[in-house]
């Protein structure tokens, strides 16, 4: 029998009550002892969204287990970057570590125990920045353990410590030095993947992408030379793909059809080094563009889908 879930959980919600209900059911089954719920407010230029937001908040009102609940329900809409980053500030002002889940991310039941164990195991090891539930290796097992180390964090279900979140900045500090240092070129093997990351960071730095919060998180991890723990099986799927999604809109995208599996053991990898082959494979998935003539029609939705994976 799994240990009780004593690690605090932050659940980020907005609208789409039916989608939220599916993810929240997994939280209910896990029965965390402490649950934080943060909701962005409705957009004033979207008629009817206030009703949808209220319906979504009603989904999470039925806490039927022994649990300390704290809520942060915003009246006005802050937008993705400010709503999420301020929610994480609020959460880590109170907690030293925790699990973060968005309303459209549905975890396998074993996700929570995995995060709790990794948070405990690496609590005092500053080489580890974060823990993710996402695995995009298409069934290929990486390394000798039940998990491996990556230079990148994806946020469809993840966990971290206050010490890591404190390194997040709303702007990409020291960006010119970062480019000159060749960090990206040193950690991914493929030119296309390198160009994807550099163009992504450039868009954030220049202000072209003003909505993202998690590319800033990835940047902080790279800047400080730390790692993310990745399970050797995928533990979280995103069910929010579709026209109502914020970023994940293309229902035909491969990431819309991820499957989850159970992880019940936590054998550490033999070597404490990031898996550069796995990181290159993941980066290539992120940099994928469909062949013409479809590219022009759906390239923007592909970008939004992958931006969603990294939280932007």
Stretch 7-12: mean pLDDT: 98
Whether the CB-CB separation of 118 and 149 falls below 8 Å is answered with: no
Stretch 2-21: mean pLDDT: 95
- For residue 115, the surrounding DSSP H or E stretch is helix 110-121
User: pLDDT-derived band of residue 302, with 50, 70 and 90 as boundaries?
Assistant: very low
Nearest to 195 by CA among 310, 137, 280: 280
Stretch 13-34: mean pLDDT: 97
pLDDT at residue 202 in the model: 97
Mean pLDDT of the chain: 90
- For the chain, the structural domain boundaries read 9-309
As a whole number of Å, the CA-based R_g of the chain is 18
List CB contacts of 273: < 8 A, sequence separation 6 or more.
149
Stretch 42-52: mean pLDDT: 95
What percent of the chain has pLDDT above 90?
83
pLDDT at residue 286 in the model: 76
Q: What is the CATH number of domain 9-309?
A: 3.90.550.10
List CB contacts of 19: < 8 A, sequence separation 6 or more.
103, 104, 239, 240
pLDDT tens-digit readout, 158-179? 999 999 999 999 999 999 999 9
pLDDT at residue 153 in the model: 94
Cis omega before residue 293 (within 30°)?
yes
pLDDT at residue 299 in the model: 46
Distance CA 41, CA 56 (A): 11
Residue 292, pLDDT above cutoff 80: no
Stretch 252-266: mean pLDDT: 80
Residue environment code for 168-193, b if the CB has 16+ CB neighbours within 10 A, otherwise e = beeebeebeebeeeebbeebbeeeeb
pLDDT at residue 252 in the model: 52
pLDDT at residue 291 in the model: 55
Distance CA 303, CA 289 (A): 8
């Amino acid at each position: 029998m799994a240990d009780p879930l004593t690690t605090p959980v932050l659940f980020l919600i907005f609208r789409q009550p039916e989608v939220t209900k599916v993810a929240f059911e997994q939280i209910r089954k896990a029965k965390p002892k402490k649950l934080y719920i943060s909701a962005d407010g409705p957009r004033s230029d979207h008629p009817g969204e206030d009703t949808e937001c209220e319906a979504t908040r009603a989904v999470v009102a039925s806490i039927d287990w022994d649990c300390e609940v704290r809520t942060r329900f915003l009246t006005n809409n802050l937008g993705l970057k400010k709503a999420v980053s301020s929610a994480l500030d609020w959460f880590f002002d109170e907690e030293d570590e925790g699990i973060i889940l968005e309303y459209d991310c549905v975890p396998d039941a074993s996700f929570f125990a995995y995060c709790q164990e990794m948070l405990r195991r690496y609590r005092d090891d500053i080489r580890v920045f974060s823990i993710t539930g996402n695995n995009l290796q298409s069934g290929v097992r990486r390394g000798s353990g039940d998990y491996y180390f990556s230079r990148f964090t994806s946020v469809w279900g993840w966990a971290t410590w206050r010490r890591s979140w404190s390194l997040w900045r709303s702007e990409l500090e020291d960006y010119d030095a970062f480019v000159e240092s060749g960090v990206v070129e040193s950690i991914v093997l493929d030119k296309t993947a390198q160009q994807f990351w550099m163009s992504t960071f450039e868009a954030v730095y220049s202000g072209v992408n003003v909505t993202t919060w998690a590319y800033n998180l990835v940047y902080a991890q790279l800047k400080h030379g730390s790692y993310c723990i990745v399970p050797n099986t995928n533990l979280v799927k995103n069910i929010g793909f579709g026209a109502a999604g914020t970023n994940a809109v293309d229902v035909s995208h491969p990431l819309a059809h991820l499957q989850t599996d159970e992880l019940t053991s936590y054998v550490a990898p033999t070597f404490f080094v990031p898996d550069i082959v796995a990181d290159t494979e993941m980066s290539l998935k992120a940099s994928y563009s469909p062949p013409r003539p479809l590219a022009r029609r759906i390239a923007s939705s592909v970008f939004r889908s992958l931006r969603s994976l990294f939280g932007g």
